[in-house]
Structure 1
Amino acid sequence: MSQVSLKTINQDGRQTTVLAHACNTTCLSCFLVLISSQNTNGRRVWPVPYRRFDRRPPSDAYCQALYPFCPTGDPDGRIPNMKDSDVISVFRLQTPVWEFKYGDLLGKFHIMHDAIGFASSDTGRNYTMEWYELFQLGNCTFPHVREDILPPFWCNQGAACFFEGIDDVHWKQNGTLEKVGEISGEQFNNLARWVKEDNETGIYYETWTVRSDPGPNSTTWFDSYDCSQFVHRTYRKLAKLGAKLSSKTQTNYTKIYLYSGEPTYLGDDGSIFDNPPLKTLAKDIRKFYHSFQPHQSMFQFILSLIEAYEKVVLEKTFYFFYNFEYWHLPMKSPYIQITYEEVPLP
C-alpha cells in the first residue's frame, strides 16, 4: 500500500509524522500511537492529545451538507483588518442548536451552540465568529457504513466561520447576547492571525468527552473539540492578549459525556481493515456503527442517540474514533450524559 507522510503537531508541542495511508503491519500502528499518545517516560497521556495537522485536506465529494457551511462568510476565510486604535466590543453568543428550525426545543435539553460577536466603534460594523461542522453534527458523530469500502467512512471536518453582522433576534430570543469586554483593534488583528492558524491545524470535530466517571476527580480520557471549545480557546487567547472579560450571567456550556473504564487502543483503518487476523474486529466495528448512521435531520439524530444509549448500556461497548484511530471503551454507568455546566471566563 502506498504511504503519504503528514506532519502532526501534538498539544505538548512535539512534532511527529504519521502515514495518511497506513501500512498493513499492526506493529507500526502501535508504534505510531505510542509516540503520539505517550510522554517521554513511556506512560500513557490522558486525555489523549488532539492531533493537529499542518494543512486542511479537501472535502470528499461523497460528503454533502444539508445546509451549506458559512454561506455568507468570505470564501477564503479572510477576517477584516481593524485600525490599531479601534475599540472592539466582544459579545458572548449562545442559542439552542438548530434554533432557526426548532426554536427552543433543543434548548430544553441544554443542547446549545456557542459563538462570539465583535463590534467596531470606528466603522459601526459588527461580526459573528463561530466554529462548527462542515457536514452537520450527525456526520461528525457517526460514520457512513458503505458497501463499496470496508472501513467506516467519516465525513468529519469542522472549521471557523467569520461573517459580517450579528442576528440579534437569533441569539436573544432563546439564548444569550451579552457584551463581555472590549479590545483594541491591534488585539483583534492579533486574534485574527491566531484564529487562522487554529483553523488550519484543527481540522476535525469531536462530539464526545470521554471520562472515567461523573465525579470531580475523574480521569478525562478524551476531550471534545466543538463550538464551545473553540469559544473557550478564543477567550483564553483574548486574555493572553490582555483583554479583561466579565459576564453578569452564569457562563454555562453544553457537554456530551461518555463514561468508560480505561480505553484500549485498537488501530487505524489500515491496521484493522487491511489486516486479515483482525477480520472479526473489523466486522464488529462495522456492525456497531451500522446502527448509528449519520442523519441530517436533528429529530432523527436524537433518535439515533437514544438507540446508541440502549446499545452501550446493554453491551457496555463503544468503538470510539479519535485522531483517525479506533479505541475500545468499556462503558459503565451512567454511560451517556448531557450536562450544562459552568465554565468561567478567563
Structure 2
Amino acid sequence: MARPALLFLVSLVLCLSLYVVSCESSLTEAVARPKPAPQCEASHAFCSSGVPAGIPPAPLGIDIFSVYLLRIPRGDAHSDCEDLDCHIIRPTLGFTSKLTNQSYTLAWYPLFGMWNSMVPHLPKKNNNSPVWCKQGAVCVSRTARGWRQPYITQISGDVFEQLMQWTQTVNKSNLDYGAWTVRTWHALNATMWFPVNDSATFVQRACQQLARFGAIINPGQTLKVTRPAIFSRKPQRLGTASQIFGPTGQPALAEKILRFYRDFQPNQSTWHKLLSSLDVLEDLLLRRSLYFYHEGNYWLLPPEFPFVHFITDYLTL
C-alpha cells in the first residue's frame, strides 16, 4: 500500500471520537416513527431554539417568500448542539417574508445528536441486540444566518404553509439521519449500495416538494456537497437483529458485530482508543470486512482500496 494512502487511513481511524460508520436508511416516509428506546437520549434538547409547535404561524396567502440556499454551522443557529455537531457545515433552506421581513431556516438534524446517529448503544448482555438511535428530524427556526447561496425561487404564503405541513409529516415518519455514502471505487458510473439521508438530500427533497406545490425552481440549480465515502464491493446481507442476536440467534456472528461496534464507543481512554484503532485497521487491511446496520438488517461490507475518502457530489434541485 502506498505510504500516503496508509497515512490517511491511520489518521482516519485514530479519529474514532469523530466518525463511525453506519448505513443510511431509505427515504420512505410512509413508516410511522416508533417510540424511541430509553437509551435514545441526547445530551441537549433537539431544536430548542425552533419555532413553537415546530411550525410557524400561517402566513397571509398574499405574502411572498424568497427561497435560497444557506450553508450554516449548526452552532451558529442553535445553542443545543454537541461539540461535533456544532462544527459541521450543513446546507439548509432559507426563507424570507416580503410582508414581515421575517426569516426562517429549514434544516435536517439528528434527533438524538450526531454521536447517537452513528454509534449504537451496546447491550449489557453480550448476546442481546444493540440499540440504534439514528432518527433524523426537521428543525424550523426564526433565523437565516449563514453563507447565503444562490436564490432558488419565490413562493406564495399558501405554498410556504403547505411546505411547513409537509415537514410535520416528515417528523412523524421513521427516517434515519445519515451522512456516509457507500459505493464502489469508480470515478464514473459508481454503484451506490445504500442511499444517503443527510442535510443535502433533505434540501433536495424539500425543493422537490416545492415543485409539487407549484413553485418554479430556477433551472440549472445544483447543490455541491462533500461527503465521507466508504468504498466497497457488493454487500452481503447477514440477517435481522432477531436472526443474529438472542437465544435463537447466531452467537459467533453476534460477537463479531458487537466487537466491531465496541471499537467505536465514546469515552474510551487513550489506551483503549489506540487498541480500537488497531482493531479497525485489522478489519480493513487483514479481514477486509466491516459490519453495517441498514433498515433493520445487518450487512457484511467487503471494503476495497482506498477504503475511505471524501468525495464531491452534485445534487440537482
Q: Is the 8 A contact 1:143 1:294 kept in 2?
A: no
Give the one of 57, 64, 67 matched to 1:80.
57
Count of residue pairs the alignment pairs up: 282
Give the one of 218, 233, 255 matched to 1:261.
233
- 2: CA distance between counterparts of 1:251 and 1:227? 11
Give the one of 164, 180, 183 matched to 1:208.
180
1:318 aligns with 2:295: no
Partner of 2:108: 131
State the Cα distance separating 1:303 from its structure 2 match. 9.8
Q: Which has the larger displacement, 214-223 or 202-211?
A: 202-211
* Cα RMSD after superposing both structures: 3.4
State the Cα distance separating 1:49 from its structure 2 match. 4.5
Give the one of 132, 136, 146 matched to 1:154.
132
Q: Which has the larger displacement, 306-315 or 208-217?
A: 306-315
* TM-score, length of structure 1 as denominator length: 0.71
Partner of 1:113: 90
- 2: CA distance between counterparts of 1:280 and 1:224? 30
State the Cα distance separating 1:305 from its structure 2 match. 11
Q: Is the 8 A contact 1:145 1:151 kept in 2?
A: yes
State the Cα distance separating 1:98 from its structure 2 match. 5.2
Structure 1 residues 96 and 79, CA gap change in structure 2 (3 angstroms): closer
Q: Is the 8 A contact 1:112 1:254 kept in 2?
A: no
- 2: CA distance between counterparts of 1:87 and 1:306? 53
Where do 1:301-316 residues align within 5 Å? 310-314=281-285, 315-316=287-288
Q: Is the 8 A contact 2:137 2:170 kept in 1?
A: no
Q: Is the 8 A contact 1:119 1:127 kept in 2?
A: yes
1:76 counterpart SS class: helix
- 2: CA distance between counterparts of 1:200 and 1:305? 37
Return the letter of the residue paired with 2:135. Answer: Q
Q: Is the 8 A contact 1:143 1:152 kept in 2?
A: yes
Q: Which has the larger displacement, 194-203 or 219-228?
A: 194-203
Give structure 1 regions of 4+ aligned residues with deviation exceeding 6 angstroms.
247-250, 302-309
- 1: CA distance between counterparts of 2:74 and 2:99? 32
State the Cα distance separating 1:232 from its structure 2 match. 0.9
- 2: CA distance between counterparts of 1:336 and 1:187? 41
State the Cα distance separating 1:144 from its structure 2 match. 2.0
Where do 1:41-120 residues align within 5 Å? 49-74=26-51, 76-96=53-73, 112-120=89-97
State the Cα distance separating 1:191 from its structure 2 match. 1.7
State the Cα distance separating 1:317 from its structure 2 match. 1.1
Return the letter of the residue paired with 1:125. Answer: Q
Return the letter of the residue paired with 1:165. Answer: T
Note the alpha carbon deviations across 1:61-103, whole angstroms, 9 max, x for none: 32332332100224532343222221101121113565689xx
Return the letter of the residue paired with 1:336. Answer: V
- 2: CA distance between counterparts of 1:84 and 1:198? 23
Q: Is the 8 A contact 1:112 1:253 kept in 2?
A: no
1:233 counterpart SS class: helix
- 2: CA distance between counterparts of 1:90 and 1:251? 14
* TM-score, length of structure 2 as denominator length: 0.77
Give the one of 173, 197, 201 matched to 1:229.
201
Return the letter of the residue paired with 1:161. Answer: C
5+ residue gaps, structure 1: 1-46, 297-301
Tell me: higher relative CO, structure 1 or 2? Use CA pairs within 8 A at least 6 residues apart.
2
State the Cα distance separating 1:124 from its structure 2 match. 2.0
State the Cα distance separating 1:312 from its structure 2 match. 4.5
- 1: CA distance between counterparts of 2:63 and 2:195? 36
